[in-house]
Structure 1
Amino acid sequence: MRPTPHRRGPARRALVAVLSTLGLAAASAAVVALPASASAPPPPAGWSTVFSDDFNGPAGSGVDTANWQYTTGTSYPGGPANFGTGEVETMTSSTNNVALDGAGNLRITPQRDASGHWTSGRVETRRSDFQPPAGGKLRIESRLRMPDVTGAAAKGYWPAFWALGAPFRGNWWNWPGIGELDIMENVQGLNNNWSTMHCGTSPGGPCNETTGIGGQKACDGSTCQGGFHTYAVEWDRSGSVEQMRFYLDGVNFHTVNQNQVSAATWTNATNHGYFVILNVAMGGGFPDAFGGGPDAGTQPGHSLVVDYVTVLQAGSGTTPPTTPPTGNRDAYGTLQAESYDQQSGVVKEATTDSGGGQDIGSLANGDWALYKGVAFGSTPARQFSARVASGAAGGVSGLVEVRLDSPSSAPVGSFALANTGGWQSWRTVPANISGVTGTHDVYLTFTSGQGADFVNVNWFTFGH
């Protein structure tokens, strides 16, 4: 949906003519009639649930902050103004804008005050590690109803359900190279869904930015505003060519193939996890392409209603390293955590620990960081220690693990960690490991029974 200014304009204006020609013809799939408060369906055979929220809770309460974080203001700290899109609202965590309705739904509701200023809501999953296993699939799905407003009263409305590549967190300027998956976007109360993959460079580039590689489909049975529909993307690594497949009510209407772009473009967009976002923007480049707004005739108070969000995965496997370890890292020196070669769900941030520099954070269950070519020598290493900090909530803890050559191999050692007094309250924690010799790719992996972040890591080392 996002982060470069006015990136929708010219291409989206061209779509007006296309939509007029097509007449937004109804697709062939039937809408499944489920109650508004339906829970996420159980995963099909061969699939497992890695994240799910049914938004059950008392009316007027906020989202579960173990699963979600609020994005507030008019930009990310230090990022492009107006979230890079020209939207005009201020995002808040107020339950006037983001609240459960008591019937199993989340409502994100734009509001306008007496001075004409708009507020709205934007929530993101805390987890940023959503990606398919090697040789497997990932599906991100939501059942939702777009704001029930059309015509002149809908001018400026821009609801979206989408995902951004994890490296965007803490950088804010590396879009679109890190990838974006727009699963559902809608503007101006039109009965239409746009789904897009963004990648490469902007403007232009291999992914036709700022437009991206997109497709569209009308809602059938009931309009997108008049009823609930399911929206999904399926990221498939099971074949020789990876795919991003977009679905509306189970119909695959748009597919992006790996070989549509260069290998480097695809790798930069997919060699990491993603985090999921729900929001309603007001105004900006995409609405501008369809007449602009909001204006005095736009009606506030119409909600994006979200029944559930679920993330599923299928299949498993590991990808062997493309080259053997080179032994360019000394296991017995100080290995800076931020010097990883690859990662999933990891964010770099400035640290106040002795020596300064950066640590890695936002570490939760399933996250990992890879350090290639760590040389242990012929005398077995039997100790491991790491400089760690935690501001985790009460009852939240997890394991910091060491694995060799694959993130799914058995750990050779680990230690448990809970709150240390704050995310920059550092301590060095030792652990024993089984004897390790030779040269290996070392994975730090993070395992927890809760979904919340539980640890930051500044550095680690090994000993005899």
Structure 2
Amino acid sequence: MRDTSGTPRKRRPLRRAFVAALGGLGLAAAAATLAVPSANASAPTPPSGWSQVFLDDFTGTAGTGVNTSNWQYSTGTSYPGGPANWGTGEVETMTNSTSNVSLDGNGNLRITPLRDSAGNWTSGRIETTRTDFQPPSGGKLRVEARLQMPNVTGTAAEGYWPAFWMLGAPYRGNYQNWPSVGELDIMENVQGLNKVWATVHCGTNPGGPCNETTGIGNSTACPNTTCQSGFHTYTMEWDRSVSPEAIRFYVDGVNYHTVTASQVDATTWTNATNHGFFVILNVAMGGAFPDAFGGGLDSATESGHPMVVDYVQVLQAGGSGTTTPPPTGSRDAYSTIQAESYNSQSGTATETTSDTGGGQNIGSLANGDWALYQGVNFGSTAATQFNARVASGAASGVSGLVEVRLDSRTSTPVGSFALANTGGWQSWRTVPANISSVTGTHDVYLTFTSGQSADFVNVNWFTFGH
């Protein structure tokens, strides 16, 4: 329902929801777990078969900004060279001020729109630094946030437009290719109405196969408590394990909107989904969407009602080939550790490998990425060797280090090796490296360091030796 094309729009009536079966995802059964009653709940433990690929639970000192390793601020009234007023006709200026975007000290993020004495509005818009969120081939991606919309209704709420949404990675730095690169609106609300809207944008604007600028959307009331008076969990699940591929939207585990690949032509779907996405949280003021429901952003609109976000979490599951989940106990340092069995990571993607034995590898590895493997037991006889199964299709001149660190991803590496192009991203070789003597049980971080920003390595598995 956000139009980033630069043409302010009136909202046309929403198309009918395209409802599909849940496909055994079990979200409705998990609704009680997802809709945690306290305001500063931790993110729920990933269900069996799912792994966590991103989490921010907004833990930190009250009055501080967001973790800039996870988020970047979008400020002003547009992207550089992009459409004015963020392409939607909204009127606020986005800032990185802690008056507009800050932690509350109780495990929550607050994005607060404010009006000054001259009647000018400021607010906040943050985006994940990562742009690679998409399901593995044949697998699923779940993106969810537990949040409370601005707790304001009626005349005082006119013009409020909170949102939790995603844009296709090709939009970043281009700003002219919407809606073809895809947009997934997981939660939008206007005017303090007790409704949540979910929408897929794609194709061409105006009109086209995705009914732009409206998109393919639907809305529903929040269960139990209103959207404004309580916390709810808003979820998007993108499922590549079914045919046709499906994108499902939920509030507190209830599926109220589904869009499938069969609803548009193959080219439109591919252009909108065959890449990663980044996540956005913001509260806009005014614009075409609120205008379509009465608008009225004026002196009666109350300043200072925040959207409060408990956590944002991204999970993935399955995929073609055999995925190895993290073990429930300790790991043996001298047995093969599958790279995709990480406990947590940043910047990686899981894909099917053509290496001997099949299964999956982790890829898209570039400078600053990492993967964590907890509870690796080296025993009492010191390990002095590290071996990793790696491949690279990096461009000429692109190389980097695969490093082993213990107990912290910022600790000094105990060993590393350099890697450049091996002949292709599935051209595998086993590379050995010496490491400092290691005994006992440690959390092992594989970290990836390069002087270039491009991907430089895939990892299938690794092990240690004496």
Question: Secondary structure, in 3 states, of the residue corresponding to 2:161?
Answer: strand
Question: Secondary structure, in 3 states, of the residue corresponding to 1:412?
Answer: strand
- Counterpart of 1:373 in structure 2 is none
- Counterpart of 2:201 in structure 1 is 198
- Counterpart of 2:347 in structure 1 is 365
- Counterpart of 1:124 in structure 2 is 127
- Once residues 135 and 197 of structure 1 are traced to their aligned partners in structure 2, the CA distance between those partners, rounded to angstroms, is 21
- After superposition, the Cα gap between the structure-2 partners of 1:459 and 1:215, relative to the gap in structure 1 and judged at 3 Å, is closer
Say which of 415, 418, 430 aligns to 2:400.
415
Letter in 2 for 1:285: A
- After superposition, the Cα gap between the structure-2 partners of 1:237 and 1:459, relative to the gap in structure 1 and judged at 3 Å, is closer
- Counterpart of 1:46 in structure 2 is 49
Letter in 2 for 1:312: L
Letter in 2 for 1:299: E
- Counterpart of 1:311 in structure 2 is 314
Please report how far the alpha carbon of residue 6 of structure 1 lies from its aligned counterpart in structure 2 after TM superposition: 4.8
- Counterpart of 1:426 in structure 2 is none
Deviations 1:214-265 (A, max 9, x none): 0111012110000000000000000121000000110011000111001100
- Counterpart of 2:24 in structure 1 is none
Return 5+ residue gaps in structure 2 as ranges.
18-27, 322-345, 352-365, 372-387, 393-398, 404-416, 429-443, 457-466
Following TM superposition, the consecutive aligned residue runs of length 4 or more in structure 1 with deviations greater than 4 angstroms are 27-31, 396-399, 430-436, 440-444, 448-455, 457-460
Deviations 1:134-172 (A, max 9, x none): 010000000000000000000100000000000000100
- Once residues 214 and 162 of structure 1 are traced to their aligned partners in structure 2, the CA distance between those partners, rounded to angstroms, is 13
- After superposition, the Cα gap between the structure-2 partners of 1:213 and 1:75, relative to the gap in structure 1 and judged at 3 Å, is same
1:239-388 to structure 2, matched below 5 A, reads 239-317=242-320, 365-366=347-348
Deviations 1:336-385 (A, max 9, x none): xxxxxxxxxxxxxxxxxxxxxxxxxxxx722699xxxxxxxxxxxxxxxx
Please report how far the alpha carbon of residue 291 of structure 1 lies from its aligned counterpart in structure 2 after TM superposition: 1.1
Letter in 2 for 1:365: G
Is the Cα contact below 8 Å between 1:82 and 1:88 reproduced in 2?
yes
- After superposition, the Cα gap between the structure-2 partners of 1:142 and 1:459, relative to the gap in structure 1 and judged at 3 Å, is closer
- Once residues 312 and 50 of structure 1 are traced to their aligned partners in structure 2, the CA distance between those partners, rounded to angstroms, is 5
- Counterpart of 1:64 in structure 2 is 67
Question: Secondary structure, in 3 states, of the residue corresponding to 1:288?
Answer: helix
- Once residues 455 and 54 of structure 2 are traced to their aligned partners in structure 1, the CA distance between those partners, rounded to angstroms, is 29
- Counterpart of 1:3 in structure 2 is 4
- Once residues 233 and 243 of structure 1 are traced to their aligned partners in structure 2, the CA distance between those partners, rounded to angstroms, is 10
Aligned CA RMSD, in angstroms, stands at 3.4
Letter in 2 for 1:236: D
- After superposition, the Cα gap between the structure-2 partners of 1:410 and 1:317, relative to the gap in structure 1 and judged at 3 Å, is farther
- Once residues 312 and 3 of structure 2 are traced to their aligned partners in structure 1, the CA distance between those partners, rounded to angstroms, is 20
- Counterpart of 2:413 in structure 1 is none
- Once residues 5 and 253 of structure 1 are traced to their aligned partners in structure 2, the CA distance between those partners, rounded to angstroms, is 29
Is the Cα contact below 8 Å between 1:62 and 1:98 reproduced in 2?
yes
2:70 corresponds to 1:85:
no
Aligned length: 355
Deviations 1:90-123 (A, max 9, x none): 0000000000011110000000011000000000
Is the Cα contact below 8 Å between 2:391 and 2:426 reproduced in 1?
no
Question: Secondary structure, in 3 states, of the residue corresponding to 1:177?
Answer: coil
Letter in 1 for 2:103: L
Please report how far the alpha carbon of residue 454 of structure 1 lies from its aligned counterpart in structure 2 after TM superposition: 6.8
Is the Cα contact below 8 Å between 1:7 and 1:209 reproduced in 2?
no
Letter in 1 for 2:277: Y
- After superposition, the Cα gap between the structure-2 partners of 1:42 and 1:87, relative to the gap in structure 1 and judged at 3 Å, is same
- After superposition, the Cα gap between the structure-2 partners of 1:111 and 1:136, relative to the gap in structure 1 and judged at 3 Å, is same
Is the Cα contact below 8 Å between 2:402 and 2:418 reproduced in 1?
no
Please report how far the alpha carbon of residue 5 of structure 1 lies from its aligned counterpart in structure 2 after TM superposition: 3.5
- Once residues 442 and 434 of structure 1 are traced to their aligned partners in structure 2, the CA distance between those partners, rounded to angstroms, is 11
Letter in 1 for 2:167: L
- After superposition, the Cα gap between the structure-2 partners of 1:139 and 1:7, relative to the gap in structure 1 and judged at 3 Å, is farther
- Once residues 453 and 78 of structure 1 are traced to their aligned partners in structure 2, the CA distance between those partners, rounded to angstroms, is 32
Deviations 1:57-100 (A, max 9, x none): 11101101111111100000000000000000000000000000
